[in-house]
Structure 1
Amino acid sequence: MSGIVFRDGAFLPAHEASVSIFDRGFLMADGVYEVTCVFDGKLVDFDGHLARLKRSLAELDLPMPMHEDSLLDKHRRLIALNSLRYGMVYLQITRGNPGVRDFLYPDPQRVAPTVVMLTIEQPHLLEAPEAQRGLKVVTMPDLRWGRRDIKTVQLLYPSRAKTKAREAGADDAWLVQDGMVTEGTANNAWIVKGRQVVTRQLSPDILAGVTRAAIKRLAEQTELEMVERAFSVEEAQAADEAFISGATHFAFPVVRIDDKPVGTGKPGPITTRLHQCYLDEIRKIAI
């Protein structure tokens, strides 16, 4: 990877950045992260990502490493230093480097958090082919830990699920618990039936997606009936439409689930409409 990254107060070339082998993010997956979309050089839903970051930190008894205004400034500086127009800023905060491997949390007065930020360019963000052709997903058991509402860096199972999905010829996996869809590997799952737009209710079972909240608001504004409840794989396959939402997915249609077409097997009108509505909104609100 090239470009400029941020590590613990300094902006430096990526090839010069390193983290200690004793960092708890490396040894224990003891950390959280956020991904904020960059649209035309501006940050999308930064306040929502900041609020979720603070909640994740609080749930793990991790201190906020810097003032909110400073964090926003560093995001903007990193975007400028990398001349990023379309893509994302990845932020990771771990419990830091205590200099030893120990299951006990280190004293926060003695060990400062490790803060890392980097940018990822996505030049085709506006013309993503997935939004045009739709996604194929396969279902897999949800074997993650029980606090998926905390955006931690322990992503081994979602990574494995996505890899297995690609090996099966699909784009992604939808994870299933007790017969009901929880979410995708890095996105929230939705179905459409008539004018009802359905997504799973918030709980420790899923991540409270920032884009999920925006899509929910847009659905209500466009006079669709927004329903928050669990749905089964069979219900999703029988829906008129299905889609995912995420920081850089916006609202991407799902056209096949486990080799069964959803609706017409093509992106549906409500998904397409919500995707466009979200694009129109972020052009106005990105900061």
Structure 2
Amino acid sequence: MSRTVYLNGKWLPEDAAKVSIFDRAFLMGDAIYEVTCVLDGMLLDYAGHAARLRRSASELGLTLPLDDDALLKAHHEIVARNQMQSGLIYLQLSRGVAERDFVFPPKDTPPTLVMFTQAKDVLNNRAAETGISVALLPDLRWGRRDIKTVQLLYPSMAKMEARSRGADDAWLHEDGFVTEASSATAHIITTDGRLVTRDLSHALLAGVTRASVLELAQSHGIEIEERAFTPDEARAAREAFITSATNFVVPVVRVDDVVIGDGHPGALTQQLRQQYIATQRATALAPA
């Protein structure tokens, strides 16, 4: 069955939705995106994703053509139109259609706003049961990683390089410290039970799931250190995991050739995943 997608205020079958070859997302990578998870037909962590979307737009001077109420309504409507119970909503906002030029077009250029869904069983994730392996790779992305742009070529290259090394994903590093995974936030649990995750800056994206998991950990008395950690600290960790809207909390059981802990998902990581799912289900946004 063809999906129904949103394009500039219209609901269209996916094969009828067309974007100009002169759109700046295509020509210049001049666009941002956001991903919201859907479970039981409801939106998870929506407020955080909406806030991050507006921040990204503000940082690049992009105009989001929907106000808060209309944006939320569009998210609920795309779920309903596609009868989606579990999966993801991708939103992309570009600066719009203009002649190719490094200079931004006039501010009154209409932006391009796209939304589409991907059905996915977000709960039954084999990686969450077995854990994943990561390869350490240099972080060669641009400096403003705090903005969720569509500039995803290097993360894709890093993920493919990790796969070529027999790993599931990459953890990126620069100046002697881990920044984040190719498309997720990196965390470790030290041998004495402290949760260490990098502090927010231009070096990494402010993960919405990261924030929710840290809040959960703090409420359960887990000591948190928001600071950069080294690859050696990662290899010596008792547990390690990633967080993202698409995968929630997923254990990391190997970094390069070093096994983390006993090579199985750690107890604290599994606990945080279960608590995150339970909390998000209890607070998910249903249609009004």
Q: TM-score range by the shorter chain?
A: over 0.9
Q: State the match for 1:153 in structure 2.
A: 150
Q: State the match for 2:47 in structure 1.
A: 47
Distance 2:257 2:7 in 1: 44
Distance 2:186 2:246 in 1: 14
Distance 1:118 1:168 in 2: 33
In structure 1, which of residues 251, 261, 267 is the aligned counterpart of residue 259 of structure 2?
261
Q: State the match for 1:204 in structure 2.
A: 202
Pairwise CA RMSD of aligned residues?
0.9
Q: State the match for 2:227 in structure 1.
A: 229
Alignment of 1:1-287 (within 5 A): 2-98=2-98, 100-109=99-108, 111-123=109-121, 125-193=122-190, 194-287=192-285
One-letter code of the match for 1:119? T
Distance 2:34 2:160 in 1: 22
Deviation readout 1:109-150 (Å, 9 max, x if unpaired): 2x1110000001112x11200000000100100000000000
Q: Secondary structure at the match of 1:234?
A: helix
Distance 2:163 2:4 in 1: 31
One-letter code of the match for 1:61? G
Give how far 1:63 is off: 1.4
Q: Secondary structure at the match of 1:12?
A: strand
Q: Secondary structure at the match of 1:153?
A: coil
Q: Unaligned 5+ residue runs, structure 1?
A: none
Distance 2:252 2:119 in 1: 24
Aligned pairs, number: 284
Distance 1:6 1:163 in 2: 30
Distance 1:263 1:231 in 2: 17
Distance 2:4 2:162 in 1: 33
Moved more, 205-214 or 65-74: 65-74
One-letter code of the match for 2:188? I
Q: Secondary structure at the match of 2:72?
A: helix
One-letter code of the match for 2:105? P
Q: Secondary structure at the match of 1:256?
A: strand
Distance 2:231 2:2 in 1: 41
One-letter code of the match for 2:30? D
One-letter code of the match for 1:269? A
Output the TM-score relative to the length of structure 2.
0.97
Q: Secondary structure at the match of 1:127?
A: coil
Deviation readout 1:145-203 (Å, 9 max, x if unpaired): 00000000111000111111122221110001012100001100000012200100000
Give how far 1:249 is off: 1.5
Q: Secondary structure at the match of 2:79?
A: helix
Moved more, 129-138 or 63-72: 63-72
Output the TM-score relative to the length of structure 1.
0.97
One-letter code of the match for 1:85? Q
Distance 1:49 1:120 in 2: 17
Give how far 1:64 is off: 2.0
